[in-house]
Chain A
Amino acid sequence: MYSPTHTVDTLTCFHCGTSCGKDHLHFEEKDFCCVGCKSVYQFLKAENMEAYYNLSEHPGISPLTDTTGRYDYLSEASVADSLLDFKGKQFANVTFYIPQMHCISCIWLLEKLYALHKGVRHSQVNFNRKQIKVTFDHQLLSLKELAQLLAVLGYEPEINLAGKKDQYVSSRSSKRLYYQIGVAGFCFGNVMLISLPEYFDWDGVMGEHFKSLFGFLNLGLALPVLFYAALDYYKSAWAALRQRTLNLDVPLVAGMLALFLTSAWQILSGTGPGYMDSFTGLLFFLLTGKAFQQKTYQHISFERDYKSYLPLSARVLIDGQQSSRALDKLKVGDRLLVKNNEIIPADSILLKGKAWIDYSFVSGEAEPVEKTLGELIHAGGKHKGSTIELEVVKEVSGSYFTQLWNYDIFAKKEEFLETIANRAGRRFSYLLFVISCISFIYWLPDLDQAVMVFASILIVACPCALALSSPYTFGNAIRILGRNRFYLKNAAVVEKLASVDTLVFDKTGTLTCSDQFEISYQGRELSPVERNMLSSLFAQSVHPLSVSLHKFLGTASQPVEQFEEHIGQGLSARLLGSSLRAGSMKFILSSGEEKHLLQTRVYVEIDHEVLGYFELQSRFRPGLEQFKEDLKEYRFAICSGDTPKDRVRLEEILPEDTNYRFSQSPEEKWEFIKQQQQQKHHIAMIGDGLNDAGALKSSDVGIAISEQSGHFSPACDSILEAGQFHRLPDFLTFSKWSVRVVYASFFISATYNVVGLSFAVQGHLSPVIAAVLMPLSSITIVLFTTLSTNMLAKKLKLA
């Protein structure tokens, strides 16, 4: 077998760090993989900005080769104004999302934009959000030019006209939580300080008038907590009651109110010091838990719509002139130009050129479909090949692609979240209700006493530890998984992941790496000259198979004569006096093609002698062979839009009872998930493309595989970076153990409650013990949950 041992392959680009291919460039004793990278280097060098390369190794991003016309739509005033945060007489502010941002050098360069163009006044990066905020002089530099400047540097801004509003809302609600924590913390600290004499029984020293002053101060300090900090808990409890169900917040709010009212009564009537320290402390711990749980990945969007997959504008031909037009303004009959690797924006008919459309994202078919003149091309496919001309037959909003996305049956109803905490909270509430009512009736002849007993049961039983354990456990779990590049939408996903018993995989792009083939050759041994000749032949075509084979055979590229590409069949040409042909079995052997061939084969022929064939197989993701062993307790299913050609190879590595379903439409995938759920199975759907969108949404946990975080993925519950695919068994085990940690902490909190109750029953619950016990139980829970999840992560060798 031939193995590519070119010295060229070992060189890495000085700018972007990818290994250099055939277009390798040598410039100033540095290696570059493409003209784009070299030009960024030259540009930065000319501006004396070489420090960019000293901060981290290969910091660059290979820029787009052709940016002309790409941002033309930004010169339209209405579009530009909708993107600007602020526009004054001279200066304007804009915030761009730049997914490519990844290292210190990026921050440095992006904040130095002012040195590259004098129109830029100031630029500031928010690395977590991958955003850059630029203040620029719009008389010297237009928005379009600014976007182009960034694109030339390799930091192509991702512009989404719809996404601006949501961000604003989420930032406001997280600020509100910070205010609430601040207020609760302030009140808690001061109440503790003022209550200090009470803990040590310093009555004799302090005197009676201090006691009442302290009482009233405590009451005053508790009011902001009652009316502001605890607000969201009332709302949640009320929402649950209105839906005629109970969640954990119901007994929590009952406990809080009982605690506050009893304390207020004691203070006002002068019968006791109250428990305002416990009340404020409880809220403070609860709110910090909430903040801890609210870990969000600001640079990742879990709710994308089709608009962020399609480009924002398309190249339109008007009277032979190219111009750019926003996508929603495309009309039926418009002529479009689509270049290599661009996405077809609307359903249209091919007018000029040859098209290979890669539908792997839309339908799951692994191989590109060939389209001839006059054929209909659906939106969403990626064009591979030389520039083609199209005529739009349907507007963007009416295309099959858009409908697939907006399919009504796929819409998941936002149901009331059934979490462990809520389930426990509901059982707890019933129990609490029964116990407190019985006690109330038992003491009823003495109304004062009955009310006191009723309140103290609510207080003692307040499920604060219960309410703390899941936020801290799952909040920490989200962080640990995020560090391992498995990003969850929210904490509830950890729980759902733990309950999963069936794993449904998509094939193309999920189990297989897209764009990577395992190539083997069968037939007569090829001489180096023959290799070069065939490689030169394949170099002429942009068909993905040709591209892969060209790479496989080495990167020689000699000019050939009489090159001809026979659509759907193969290639032929003359080189060095020999005739070369390559293509399908039918094309080369002139014998009938086997319809259900399991692998893709390309036959080659030189001077009418058939030498043999190349076999191309999609490559499975590394680690897949371990799943059978590591995921024994799960049921497996494969649900693919592709033909069953890889079935035999999959059967070798997956468990015997795996359910195989091939040639599935998006609707069939969705139905399969629904049908499994009706049989009471909990399903994790692992997919990557748009054809999985429905299945991802309706499954219990939708896991989208993404080659790079920040890249496009359909709406889902979690995003797994492709390189971490082999860790999936560990992630599933980790989620199961996290749930066990929550149960263990429930047990701990129950122990505390029993101890507290037994003290109270015997009349030994002195204020100082009560004051210590409450924070102590909260802190124990916080420590126990975070430490044990960290230990688990270490045991599973998660970073």
Chain B
Amino acid sequence: MEIIFLLIGISLVLAIFFLVAFIRAVRSGQYEDDYTPSIRILLEDTPTQDKNLNDNPTKL
């Protein structure tokens, strides 16, 4: 039964780890915009591809 001491310790450490992760997420401003990222992920990133290829032939 003494193993419970250890288990409780581990579970508390884990929980504190999540709490710290949450606080860091709030601090970094993740909760300030809950809409734009959901749109941003849907947008194509390369509409200017052709032009870039033509403009920067040296990079190829």
Contacts and interface: CB of A to CB of B under 8 A. Distances in A.
Most buried by A among B4, B11, B33, B44: B33
Contact of A193 (B11, B18, B32): B11
B56 interface: no
A488 B1 CA distance: 57
Most buried by A among B1, B11, B43: B43
B58 interface: no
Given A179-B26, A217-B8, A55 B43 contact: yes
Nearest to A49: B47
A129 B33 contact: yes
B60 interface: no
A707 interface: no
Interface string B1-34: 1001100100110011011001100110001111
Most buried by B among A50, A51, A171: A51
Nearest to A221: B12
A108 B43 contact: yes
Contacts of B40: 107, 111
A634 to B, nearest CB: 37
B48 A190 contact: no
A189 interface: yes
Interface in A107-147: 107-108, 111-112, 115, 124-129
A217 B12 CA distance: 10
Given A49-B48, A51-B44, A193-B11, A182 B39 contact: no
A207 B35 CA distance: 51
A458 to B, nearest CB: 30
Contacts of A112: 47-48
A127 B35 contact: yes
Contacts of B11: 190, 193
B51 interface: yes
Contacts of B23: 179, 182
Given A127-B33, A128-B35, A186 B15 contact: yes
Given A48-B48, A48-B50, A207-B1, A175 B36 contact: no
Contacts of B32: 126, 171
Interface string A182-220: 110010011001100000000000110010010001000
Interface in A163-186: 171, 175, 178-179, 182-183, 186
B22 A182 contact: yes
Given A178-B31, A186-B18, A127 B36 contact: yes
Contacts of A115: 48
Contact of A190 (B5, B15, B22): B15
A47 interface: yes
A48 B51 contact: yes
A526 interface: no
Contacts of A49: 47-48
A104 B15 contact: no
A178 B43 contact: no
Interface in A325-381: none
A48 B47 contact: yes
A183 B35 CA distance: 25
B1 to A, nearest CB: 7
B39 A47 contact: no
A175 B26 CA distance: 7
A210 B3 CA distance: 12
Contacts of A183: 19
Nearest to A131: B33
B20 to A, nearest CB: 10
Nearest to B18: A186
A127 B48 contact: no
Contacts of A47: 48, 51
B47 A104 contact: no
B36 A126 contact: yes
A210 B48 contact: no
A551 to B, nearest CB: 38
A633 B1 CA distance: 71
Contacts of B5: 213
Interface in A49-77: 49-51, 55
A629 B11 CA distance: 63
A735 to B, nearest CB: 27
Contacts of A129: 33
A3 B6 CA distance: 85
Contacts of B50: 48
B17 to A, nearest CB: 11
B8 A194 contact: yes
A186 B16 CA distance: 8
A189 B15 contact: yes
Interface of A: 47-51, 55, 104, 107-108, 111-112, 115, 124-129, 171, 175, 178-179, 182-183, 186, 189-190, 193-194, 206-207, 210, 213, 217
Q: Which 8 A-B residue pairs are closest in the complex by CB-CB distance?
A: A51-B47, A127-B36, A126-B33, A186-B19, A48-B51, A178-B26, A182-B22, A127-B35
Given A115-B48, A128-B34, A175-B31, 13 more contacts: A47-B51, A48-B48, A49-B48, A108-B43, A125-B36, A128-B33, A171-B32, A175-B26, A178-B31, A179-B26, A182-B19, A182-B22, A213-B5
12 contacts: A48-B47, A49-B47, A51-B47, A107-B43, A112-B48, A124-B36, A127-B36, A128-B34, A178-B26, A179-B26, A182-B19, A182-B23
